[in-house]
């Protein structure tokens, strides 16, 4: 038997209604805020991710699905969505017509990390990205939209953590201070962090290794180094969130795992799955469009971990199975043909109807109708046909009603809908 690859998973029909519910809620929320869907390829040139995510990140160094596509060179299964959205924004010269664009995209991402519980090599994200707005108003609005989506899905155990990562003017001062600390604590750091301290010291603050966490507990915060523009920007975001009654915590050591973030960074954390974990994260990335060869356009966005959100929802609700309204219980060959016609007509009219495609007796039909949790069974044999009516049985109350054969589909639609 061929089984799926470790680290991948099937999303089965029993679970899918939660996924659909999340997706529908996200679509509705984003569309109301003026975001439009964009669908992008899952394969891109490897260079796109090396340039946008940064060659020194764990993702690009060892977690990408990259392969040689012959003359087309190295290609990669996307590890995240932002780089592709930016690539598309630049390629279609969207800024020339109107730099302000709001997108969302939902789909699979791929990381070749070691499979572990709750972490998949193909995982799903819900992304939203805004281009062309530098104002802190959009930072506050995007956080409000994200928090509201969780509220609407009744995920209450969430808290928003925010920080400001500075800009190219002020960040170097912070990096210098952090670097001195990393030099001093070198012996306590893990191998990865020693390497990161040279190329990308910020990322050491993200390290989960306990000895690193301890060594860096007293690390300086970027907040102590912000230039006045960054400080004003961050203060405004906080004031706007206060005004909207969005609860948040300032996390002085929050950094994002990716190189291109500037100023506002945020994470939505939850303890719903045990230890506190991020279920969404994002922030501003004002330099990325230009870094990838586009015009200088500010941008901000976030990604929601779809798998994790579905898992959270599955703890509190059971996926609602789709139930047929009518189960056809024909007795005999003539009636079965009729049942087939009526079932097709009812399905097309929006009345979910099931039938057995083999010839069965009444006992079998009733068993199947119960198994499907059908609301009603329509019972008819040759006798009923001669008398001009079929019997509609309410499967819950066992109450029965006669339905005329002539225009039966219309009668049922009027009765059921
Ligand atoms: Zn700054
Ligand atoms: Zn470390």
Query: What is the mean pLDDT of each successive set of 10 residues along the chain, which is 417 residues long?
Result: 93 92 97 98 94 71 86 93 97 96 98 80 97 98 97 91 94 89 88 82 84 87 95 98 96 80 94 85 94 96 96 83 91 95 96 94 95 95 95 95 95 89
Q: Is the C-alpha dihedral spanning 291, 43, 75, 57 positive or negative?
A: positive
Whole-number Å distance, alpha carbon 286 to ligand 1 midpoint, is: 12
Residue 261 in contact with residue 272, Cβ under 8 Å?
A: no
User: Which residues lie across from 282 on neighbouring strands?
Assistant: 266, 302
Radius of gyration of the chain (CA): 28
CA-based angle 110:286:219, to the nearest 5?
A: 80
Whole-number Å distance, alpha carbon 256 to ligand 2 midpoint, is: 15
Rounded CA gap, 129 and 146, in Å?
A: 12
CA-based angle 91:95:101, to the nearest 5?
A: 100
Q: Which ligand is nearest to the CA of 192?
A: 2
Helices (H) and strands (E) in the chain, counts: 16, 16
Residue 349 in contact with residue 321, Cβ under 8 Å?
A: no
Whole-number Å distance, alpha carbon 46 to ligand 2 midpoint, is: 26
Rounded CA gap, 223 and 170, in Å?
A: 10
CA-based angle 83:88:90, to the nearest 5?
A: 95
CA-based angle 51:195:262, to the nearest 5?
A: 45
Whole-number Å distance, alpha carbon 235 to ligand 1 midpoint, is: 13
Q: Which ligand is nearest to the CA of 204?
A: 2
Rounded CA gap, 379 and 331, in Å?
A: 8
Q: Where are the alpha helices (DSSP H) in 33-169?
A: 46-53, 58-62, 82-91, 94-97, 136-152
Q: Which ligand is nearest to the CA of 173?
A: 1
Rounded CA gap, 55 and 62, in Å?
A: 10
Q: State the pairing for strand pair 277-284/326-330.
A: unpaired
| Structural domains of the chain ordered from first start | 13-170+226-316 (3.30.930.10), 326-416 (3.40.50.800)
Whole-number Å distance, alpha carbon 35 to ligand 2 midpoint, is: 38
Structure tokens at 412: 């049922």
pLDDT at 175: 87
Q: State the pairing for strand pair 101-110/158-164.
A: unpaired
Return all residues near 253 (Cβ < 8 A) that are at least 6 apart. Answer: 163, 205, 216, 219, 221
Q: Which ligand is nearest to the CA of 188?
A: 2
Whole-number Å distance, alpha carbon 166 to ligand 1 midpoint, is: 4
Whole-number Å distance, alpha carbon 211 to ligand 1 midpoint, is: 30
Instruction: Give me the half-sphere count of Cα atoms (radius 13 Å) on the Cβ side of residue 58.
Output: 13
Whole-number Å distance, alpha carbon 128 to ligand 2 midpoint, is: 30
Whole-number Å distance, alpha carbon 263 to ligand 1 midpoint, is: 7
Whole-number Å distance, alpha carbon 221 to ligand 1 midpoint, is: 13
Q: Which ligand is nearest to the CA of 206?
A: 2
Whole-number Å distance, alpha carbon 291 to ligand 1 midpoint, is: 18
Return all residues near 65 (Cβ < 8 A) that are at least 6 apart. Answer: 76, 77, 110, 111, 112, 121
Whole-number Å distance, alpha carbon 261 to ligand 1 midpoint, is: 12
Strand residues in 260-339 grouped as ranges (E): 262-270, 277-284, 299-305, 326-330
For residue 170, give the DSSP letter: T
pLDDT at 58: 66
Whole-number Å distance, alpha carbon 117 to ligand 2 midpoint, is: 22
Q: Which ligand is nearest to the CA of 216?
A: 2
Q: Which ligand is nearest to the CA of 287?
A: 1
Return all residues near 114 (Cβ < 8 A) that are at least 6 apart. Answer: none
Whole-number Å distance, alpha carbon 177 to ligand 1 midpoint, is: 15
Q: Which ligand is nearest to the CA of 208?
A: 2
Whole-number Å distance, alpha carbon 111 to ligand 2 midpoint, is: 20
Q: Rounded to 5 degrees, what are φ and ψ at 89?
A: -60, -40
DSSP secondary structure, 317-378, as one string: -PPPPP--SEEEEE-SHHHHHHHHHHHHHHHHTT--EEE-SS---HHHHHHHHHHTT-SEEE
Whole-number Å distance, alpha carbon 26 to ligand 2 midpoint, is: 35
Rounded CA gap, 161 and 127, in Å?
A: 18
pLDDT at 60: 67
């Amino acid at each position: 038997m061929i089984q799926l690859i470790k680290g991948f998973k099937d999303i089965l029909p029993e679970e899918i209604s939660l996924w659909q519910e999340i997706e529908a809620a996200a679509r509705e929320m984003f569309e109301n805020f003026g975001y439009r869907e964009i669908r992008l390829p899952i394969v891109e040139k490897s260079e796109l991710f090396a340039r946008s995510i940064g060659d020194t990140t764990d993702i690009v160094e060892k977690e990408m699905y990259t392969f040689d596509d012959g003359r087309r060179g190295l290609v990669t299964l996307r590890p995240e969505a932002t780089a592709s959205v930016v690539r598309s924004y630049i390629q279609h010269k969207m800024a020339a017509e109107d730099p302000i664009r709001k997108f969302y995209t939902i789909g699979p991402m791929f990381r070749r990390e070691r499979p572990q519980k709750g972490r998949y090599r193909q995982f799903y994200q819900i992304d939203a990205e805004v281009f062309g707005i530098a104002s802190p108003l959009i930072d506050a609005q995007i956080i409000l939209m994200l928090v509201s989506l969780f509220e609407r899905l009744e995920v209450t155990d969430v808290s928003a953590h925010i920080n400001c990562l500075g800009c190219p003017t002020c960040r170097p001062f912070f990096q210098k201070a952090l670097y001195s600390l990393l030099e001093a604590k070198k012996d306590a750091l893990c191998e990865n962090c020693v390497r990161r301290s040279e190329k990308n010291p910020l990322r050491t603050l993200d390290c989960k290794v306990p000895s690193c966490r301890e060594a860096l507990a007293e690390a300086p915060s970027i907040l102590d180094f912000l230039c006045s523009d960054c400080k004003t920007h961050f203060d405004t975001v906080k004031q706007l969130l206060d005004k909207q009654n969005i609860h948040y915590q300032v996390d002085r050591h929050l950094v994002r795992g990716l190189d291109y973030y500037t100023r506002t960074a945020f994470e939505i954390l939850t303890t719903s799955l045990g230890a506190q974990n991020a279920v969404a994260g994002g922030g501003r990335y004002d330099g990325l469009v230009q870094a990838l060869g586009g015009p200088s356009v500010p941008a901000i966005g976030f990604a929601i971990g779809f798998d994790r959100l579905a898992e959270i929802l599955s703890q509190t609700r059971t996926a609602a199975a789709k139930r047929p309204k009518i189960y056809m219980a024909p007795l005999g060959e003539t009636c079965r043909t009729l049942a087939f016609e009526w079932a097709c007509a009812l399905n097309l009219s929006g009345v979910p109807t099931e039938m057995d495609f083999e010839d069965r007796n009444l006992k079998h039909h009733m068993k199947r109708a119960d198994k499907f949790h059908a609301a009603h069974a329509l019972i008819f044999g040759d006798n009923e046909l001669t008398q001009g009516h079929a019997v509609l049985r309410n499967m819950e109350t066992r109450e029965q009603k006669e339905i005329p054969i002539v225009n039966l589909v219309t009668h049922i639609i009027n009765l059921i809908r």
